[in-house]
Structure 1
């Protein structure tokens, strides 16, 4: 299942966008980008969206390290109490002790994203108990093999997994999807919506999204062929 990011910051606009995605059966998992506004304002925004969507959608937040630990402790309690399913990287990646305390006290699971850049980071986070979920990103974590090693560490430590995105195009998205399909668990789904943002493709068979999922082609390799004419137009000489 593929999550969709809501990042306008306008509550009514985000609700309308989410409802449209539900109506066309493209997404029913939504991640809100928050943190740049005052905490109280962000919480009001998130809670209003969750109340409007109700049980028809999963709502999650990505704080991108904006909060300090005291802000995060209070905010995570409010978010958990109001049905928010997941809180991504609420505090700085370098505040490891704070991440551990927050992971122990938050009613909603904490996902590490910026905190994981290598297999060694994953091992250290798992050993410290600093997150309940790991976000995996092929482009950031060192390629498919490193992602699989990170997933093995998570599995051994009882940590759930999420297939993140660096907003790759169709080629990178399907490469990520194929790697994620080899995992024993991907409890929190994926965020592989990058191709949906493109205004023009360079492949002949763009990834297909329907019924809330990304559908993987059953053809050799990644299941894609390049459109050589379009690719040539984008070439720099």
Structure 2
């Protein structure tokens, strides 16, 4: 089996409402569908969600780097030659979403060729994951209303609360309102998207100690080296690295420097191959992880669920798998379903997905 073509299709699907957080705002899912074709007729599929305010990638840059640099290098290679593929991809710095989409599409191909699911190939621990839902910036009452609606309709009982605003009291009030409305059986954690300074983060964490947060994610920038260490040393709430730990070296740096107590793994930026290596690092150091989300559509959320369900460590916590609920539509012929707070992974070969070609034709931007 050889790679004969890598096809990139930009598409755009509106969100039901703007999603707001400290590092940016999105109104439309302007993503890139990546399909790797082979001489056997099999096609591997994945989704690249660019996040210019975090990694610098755009829809145009993802398509451009794959079409002009990556695809010509990979034509004629075997999808099984993942190490050789990554050696070629890594000659170009950055571009994590573009590289990850290619990697996941290759795993999809390998699973299809063997007649087994990617979850089985990776580890096969379980066939489902508990789901965490992200609640974006709004007034306390609106955020409580959204969380209650998602809990009542989908059975989700874990919520990621976006924080990082000034004054910090607004976000403190939001967390307290959510805890009061949802009760003690619901899990809450916060994500600052680098919006606060270390001192602001410390003040917020002190004010939230009695709210019962699972952890706090990326409250201040990675460049605040001493501030992050100072914050982690005194916080009674575990701190998780996200944007500061986008590749293996950064994960090692953050953990060994004492700047974080856990790591968010996102298949949208490390694919399956490098996500597996990050997970091994964390497991070897006795560090907990959470499966994060890059505001993925259903294809990206499926990839995150496929990886998260493959391993015991990633299955312990609810994964961030529900951002597609905020989109007005999607590209899968058989949409993902969240029932009783869980997302079951499709059992077909590879990723087990099938595209709705009519929807793709409607939303494509080229």
The TM-score normalised by the length of structure 1 is 0.92
Q: How far apart are the structure 2 equivalents of 1:19 and 1:232?
A: 35
Note if 1:188 corresponds to 2:188: no
Greater C-alpha radius of gyration: 2
Aligned match of 1:124? 253
Q: How far apart are the structure 2 equivalents of 1:5 and 1:138?
A: 17
How far apart are 1:230 and its partner, in Å? 2.1
Note if 1:93 corresponds to 2:198: no
Note if 1:169 corresponds to 2:264: no
SS in 1 for 2:313: coil
1:50 and 1:84 in contact (8 A); partners too: no
Aligned match of 2:164? 35
Could you tell me which runs of 5 or more consecutive residues in structure 2 were left unpaired when the two chains were aligned.
1-129
Residue by residue, what CA displacement relative to the aligned partner does 1:47-82 show, whole Å, maximum 9, x if unpaired? 222122221311111111111111212211221222
Distance 1:56 1:173, change over 3 A: same
Residue by residue, what CA displacement relative to the aligned partner does 1:17-76 show, whole Å, maximum 9, x if unpaired? 222222224311112111123012221222222122221311111111111111212211
Q: How far apart are the structure 1 equivalents of 2:347 and 2:266?
A: 23
How far apart are 1:236 and its partner, in Å? 4.0
Note if 1:227 corresponds to 2:356: yes
1:31 and 1:62 in contact (8 A); partners too: yes
SS in 1 for 2:183: helix
How far apart are 1:161 and its partner, in Å? 0.6
Match of 1:158 among 276, 283, 286: 286
Match of 2:175 among 46, 49, 58: 46
Distance 1:19 1:233, change over 3 A: closer
2:140 and 2:173 in contact (8 A); partners too: no
Aligned match of 2:344? 215
Q: How far apart are the structure 2 equivalents of 1:234 and 1:25?
A: 27
How far apart are 1:104 and its partner, in Å? 2.2
Note if 1:133 corresponds to 2:265: no
Q: How far apart are the structure 1 equivalents of 2:222 and 2:336?
A: 33
| Structure ranking higher on relative contact order (CA contacts 8 Å, 6+ apart) | 2
Residue by residue, what CA displacement relative to the aligned partner does 1:174-223 show, whole Å, maximum 9, x if unpaired? 12221222233023321111322222232211111011111111111212
2:154 and 2:338 in contact (8 A); partners too: no
Q: How far apart are the structure 2 equivalents of 1:60 and 1:28?
A: 12
Distance 1:9 1:232, change over 3 A: closer
Distance 1:94 1:204, change over 3 A: same
SS in 1 for 2:134: strand
Q: How far apart are the structure 2 equivalents of 1:231 and 1:42?
A: 38
SS in 1 for 2:354: coil
Select the structure that is richer in strand. Answer: 2
Note if 1:26 corresponds to 2:132: no
